[in-house]
Amino acid sequence: MKRLLTVMLALVLALGLAANASAITVGFSQIGQESDWRTANTDDLCSAIEAQGWTLVYDDANQQQPNQIRALRNFITQGVDYILFTGVVSTGWEEVLKEVNEAEIPLILVDRMPDCADVIDYACAFGGDFVEEGRRMARWTGEYMKSIGRGEEEINVVMLEGTTGADAAVGRTEGILEVLPEYENLNLVAQQSGNFTRAEGQAVMESFLKSIDKIDVLLAQNDDMGLGAIDAIKAAGLVPGEDIIIVGCDSVKAAFEAIVAGEMNATIECTPLYSPFVIDAINRLEAGEVFDKTVIHPEEGCFDSVGGIEYAEGKLSVKAADVIDERVY
Ligand code: GZL
C-alpha cells in the first residue's frame, strides 16, 4: 500500500512539474531573418524554449519597428509569462516597453539594447560588446596589412555599416573609428549602411566600386554584407580577398567558407547562441531568484586566412581552415 502511495505521489509531482513547464508561455519579438547570424540566433532560442516544454509565441518583424511594437502589444493581450525582445533600432521603444512593465510581464532583453533601458524595468539583458567588435575589426586590419608588408602604403578603406540606428551598427562604427587612426596608412574613404543584408551589401559595394578609384579594404559590419560585396567585387572584374581585403563580423559558417576559398580575409566572432543564458534566466525567475541584470557575452575570437594576427591585446587570430569543421552556425 505504502509503495502504491509513493508511486502515486511521484506521479502527481511529475504531472505538476510538467503542467507548470507547459504552462510557461514565452513571447519572442525577433527582428527578422536578415542574416545568417539572426537565423542562428532564432533557431537557437526557439528550439531551446520548446525543448523546455514551454509554449513559444514567436514573431518575425521583417526588420520593421511597427511590426515589433504590434507583436509586443499582442504578447500583452495574450498574457504571456515572459517576453524576449531585441529591437531593430535603439529608439522608439519607451512607450510600448512601459506597457509591458504595466502588464507586469518580465522582460528579457537580448542582443540589441533599447536606448530607454535605464527608464524601463527589465529582468535581465544579454548581448555583445559592439564597440569592442568594431575595435577588433580595425585592429586586425591594421596588423594584417603590416604583416603583408603594406603597413606604409596608403590604403583606402570603405565600410558597410549595419542597420541605421541599431546599436550593433553604431557601436561597431564607434569601435572602428576609435582604432583606425592608430594606423596612419588606413584612410576611411566611404561608409554607408548595407542594413546587415547580403543584397544591400552587394548594392552599396557596387556603388562604391563605381565611385571610388582605388579600394583596398572593405570593413563589413556583418559577414552577410561582406559576402554580398564579394559578388559586386567579382562583377567589377576584381579578385575578392586579394585586390580588396574583406573583414567581416559574426563568424558565421559562410564566412569561414569564403575565407577558406580565399575570397574573404577575416571575421570577428559575435556569438548568436543565447539560449543557455535565456533558459537559465527564466528558470531562475521562475524560482524567484534575483541575479545580474546585464550580461555581456564574452567576446570570442577572430578567424582569418593566416592565423597569428593580433586583433586585440594579447589575442591572436585563428586560421579559419583549421576550425571550420567545428563550427555549428
Ligand atoms: C549582433 C546582431 C547583428 C549581427 C547581424 O549582435 O545584432 O544583427 O551582427 C544581425 O548579422 O543582423
DSSP-assigned states of every residue in 44-77: HHHHHHHHTTPEEEEEE-TT-HHHHHHHHHHHHH
Write down the pLDDT at residue 294. Answer: 78
Ramachandran region, residue 46 (left: φ > 0; alpha: ψ -120 to 50; beta: rest): alpha
For the CA of 32, the closest atom of ligand 1 is 12
Residues contacting 60, CB < 8 A, separation 6+: 30, 32, 33, 42
| Phi/psi of residue 61, nearest 5 degrees | -90, 0
Write down the pLDDT at residue 1. Answer: 61
To test the pocket of ligand 1, the residue of 112, 113, 270 to mutate (highest count of ligand atoms within 8 Å of its CB) is 270
Task: Output the residue whose Cα is nearest ligand 1's atom 3.
Answer: 168
Neighbours of 231 (CB within 10 A): 17
For 129-147, what is each residue's pLDDT tens digit?
999 999 999 999 999 999 9
Distance between CA atoms of residues 10 and 77, nearest Å: 36
Write down the pLDDT at residue 22. Answer: 58
Beta strands in the chain (DSSP E): 25-30, 55-60, 82-85, 107-110, 124-127, 155-161, 186-193, 217-220, 245-250, 266-269, 294-296, 302-304, 310-312, 315-316, 318-319
Residue 44 CA to ligand 1 center (angstroms) comes to 14
Q: What is the mean pLDDT of the chain?
A: 94
Choose among 304, 299, 198: nearest CA to 246: 304
Distance between CA atoms of residues 248 and 255, nearest Å: 8
List for the chain the helix, strand, coil content (%; round to 5).
45, 20, 35
Residue 123 CA to ligand 1 center (angstroms) comes to 22
User: Is the shortest distance between the CB of 128 and ligand 1 below 6 Å?
Assistant: yes
For 168-189, what is each residue's pLDDT tens digit?
999 999 999 999 999 999 999 9
Are 204 and 228 spatial neighbours (Cβ–Cβ below 8 Å)? no
- What grid cell was written down for 151? 603597413
Low-confidence residues in the chain, pLDDT < 50: none
Write down the pLDDT at residue 197. Answer: 98
Long-range contacts of 258-261 (CB under 8 A, 24+ apart): 258/226, 258/227, 258/230, 259/303, 259/304, 259/305, 259/320, 259/321, 260/320, 260/321, 260/324
For 201-255, what is each residue's pLDDT tens digit?
999 999 999 999 999 999 999 999 999 999 999 999 999 999 999 999 999 999 9
To test the pocket of ligand 1, the residue of 250, 253, 299 to mutate (highest count of ligand atoms within 8 Å of its CB) is 250
Task: Output the residue whose Cα is nearest ligand 1's atom 6.
Answer: 111
Write down the pLDDT at residue 122. Answer: 95
What size, in residues, is the chain?
A: 329
Residue 253 CA to ligand 1 center (angstroms) comes to 15
User: Is the shortest distance between the CB of 126 and ligand 1 below 6 Å?
Assistant: no
Write down the pLDDT at residue 290. Answer: 80
Residue 221 CA to ligand 1 center (angstroms) comes to 8
